[in-house]
A and B are shown apart, each in its own frame.
Chain A
């Protein structure tokens, strides 16, 4: 029950006028990013980090998280209305959502997604409220070997689950770690890979890398095949028919479960969650042939799943300091920039911050429900803002944002280089997500390994003699071996294709 009272105190923090305002701005920006097909949650959060620079840490993270879960709501609207997914997690919603629109039931499709998203989001944040502190209490017993093992597991999971080819995933992960080595070594103070440049001595700034890799490269990719959004129809009636309520709520329940389960697993991104939910809905349906022809469960399930996922993804981040997806890595980067270290100590060291943030997510979900039910027509119009007007402005915000980090044009140049690198990596299908996660964990991974070895009497064996770390290391090894085997048997391609459908 402790959590409950702490949460109430959190509401005190979150309900101040300024934090309420930042929460509102955050979820609105999230909706905006979600609705616009050319901009995803990763680049959205990354390019707004510099803007949060002057804010209080709690306000800054309230806003950035709002962008993240808000975009999950917004992505639905264009999927349903014009068959263009606003962000990747809503791809699956296009199948039945757009069919419903063609039958003149766009309102019902948007209505159930909003309700489902709300339920999924709120349940996941409730889980965070109670599971987060418990998990972090458990993790407080962890020493360096356990943290090393957990980070290794997280990285391997991401590599194992993302992208078509295992070797390209591994390349991305190692590249990320190598980029993290640039600058002064934390333990001995020696400079590594600086090539005599003063700017590189501080290492590579996380925000610089994220804005380039995700922001610039996304604009370049869009320049190739611009998405054309046609005028959406007017939305009428937001509620499903009476006999549809039962099955809809059941699929919302299943979606919540799947989303939360996959949310805590590193590397299982929200696309996997919504796809799984769709497959499950089709399996349990009495008449699977309705799917693809406007089945309401095919909209409710996946949309719930991706929102439950986004809430649950914060559990490993808050309690273990482990980002499970690129967006989480960006938010982790923002934590660090504001002088906070996510991890087991966060709940005890910065309770005001954590509980304020969690409370703001309840508020944010309510705001989003309002924005998505009565005001949905207004958001649909935003999708009509021409991209040719938007992309120069986005580029400008990225440029000025990068400059504002340290007031240095050197950063801007580096950011542009990362933009081109990101574009090339995308073309080669080397997963950038793996790279950004290992980059942000790189120095911690190294430090925890060195600390483990310095307290160890038996060298590297310490990772296998400590019970908890031994278990985690074994899981990591099993996953690694399995993903090699699946690569050899060529099953990976099939799984990746499933996700893309």
Chain B
């Protein structure tokens, strides 16, 4: 029962967040002129859309409270939650390292982090270095997309 309850709750929470988002966008939309020279102005669409979204989110909350059409997906817990957070953190880390050190080092560290848990350390190092250099070569030479080799720090 507890399990099902939490499923209902996620719908209610999502509806509430959507409602707040819609309300925020609605207030913003009011700043754009609602009508223009040709009829509706730049504010017309946003106002209506965010208004409709507010109504929809209330409907969504109602549906979730009633327990109708509840999503059959369950939220991750324990090991899988850890795994997902680990991936997200390493993605963010890549962006930070990219800014600081450029592509080669960021790419190498990113891959090494993800491979480390699964492979032996020397395989990890070799694969990370090899794949990073291969991708660099693909983008720089074949696809003509420039990837910076250095970042802010060096």
Contacts and interface: CB of A to CB of B under 8 A. Distances in A.
Interface of A: 50-51, 53-54, 164-165, 167-168, 170-171, 174-175, 177-178, 181, 185, 187-188, 190, 192-193, 216, 219-220, 223-225, 388-389, 391-393, 395-397, 399-400, 403-404, 407, 409, 412-413, 416, 419-420, 423-424, 426-430, 446, 449-450, 453-454, 459, 487, 490, 492-493
Contacts of A224: 76, 80, 83-84
25 contacts: A170-B52, A170-B56, A181-B45, A181-B46, A181-B49, A187-B36, A188-B36, A193-B28, A224-B80, A388-B118, A391-B114, A392-B110, A397-B135, A399-B94, A400-B135, A416-B88, A416-B92, A428-B73, A449-B40, A450-B40, A453-B40, A454-B38, A487-B69, A490-B68, A492-B69
A193 B59 CA distance: 25
Contacts of B41: 188
A409 B25 CA distance: 26
B153 interface: no
B38 A187 contact: yes
A450 B99 CA distance: 43
Interface residues of B, number: 62
Contacts of A424: 14
B88 A392 contact: no
Contact of A403 (B38, B53, B147): B147
A428 B88 contact: no
B131 A393 contact: yes
A192 B67 CA distance: 36
A413 B99 CA distance: 12
A54 B143 contact: yes
A395 B147 CA distance: 16
Contact of A223 (B18, B49, B87): B87
Given A423-B84, A450-B39, 4 more contacts: A54-B143, A395-B91, A416-B88, A449-B40
Contact of B60 (A168, A187, A453): A168
Given A190-B32, A400-B135, A174 B56 contact: yes
Contacts of A192: 28-29, 32, 42, 46
Contacts of A409: 95, 98-99
B122 interface: no
Contact of A188 (B42, B73, B75): B42
Contacts of B68: 165, 490
Query: Which 3 A-B pairs have CB atoms at the shortest separation, nearest pair first?
Result: A429-B71, A165-B69, A392-B114
B71 A427 contact: yes
B2 interface: no
Interface of B: 10-11, 14, 18, 25, 28-29, 32-33, 36, 38-42, 45-46, 49-50, 52-53, 56-57, 59-60, 63, 68-69, 71-76, 80, 83-84, 87-88, 91-92, 94-95, 98-99, 103, 107, 110-111, 114-115, 118, 127, 131-132, 135, 139, 143-147
A429 B15 CA distance: 13
Contacts of A389: 115, 118, 127
A500 B56 CA distance: 26
B11 A428 contact: yes
Contact of B115 (A170, A171, A188, A392): A392
Nearest to A220: B84
B63 A167 contact: yes
Nearest to B91: A416
B31 to A, nearest CB: 9
Contact of A453 (B38, B42, B72, B87): B38
Contacts of B132: 396
Contacts of A492: 69
B38 A185 contact: no
Contact of B146 (A392, A399, A407): A407
- Looking at B10, B42, B74, B80, which has the most chain A CB atoms within 10 Å of its CB? B42
Nearest to B62: A167
Contact of B18 (A171, A190, A391): A171
A178 B42 contact: no
Contacts of B114: 391-392, 395
B10 A178 contact: no
A255 to B, nearest CB: 29
Contacts of B99: 409
Given A177-B49, A492-B69, A400 B147 contact: yes
B120 to A, nearest CB: 13
A459 B38 CA distance: 11
Contacts of A393: 111, 131
Nearest to A416: B91
Contacts of B74: 427
A368 to B, nearest CB: 25
Given A187-B36, A403-B147, A454-B38, A178 B46 contact: yes
Given A53-B143, A392-B114, A429-B71, A454 B32 contact: no
B106 to A, nearest CB: 9
A305 B24 CA distance: 45
Contacts of B103: 400
A2 B85 CA distance: 57
B65 to A, nearest CB: 13
Contacts of A392: 110-111, 114-115
B90 to A, nearest CB: 8
Contacts of B80: 223-225
B86 to A, nearest CB: 8
B52 A174 contact: yes
A145 to B, nearest CB: 13
Contact of A429 (B28, B73, B91, B135): B73
A404 B63 contact: no
A270 B144 CA distance: 36
A454 B33 CA distance: 17
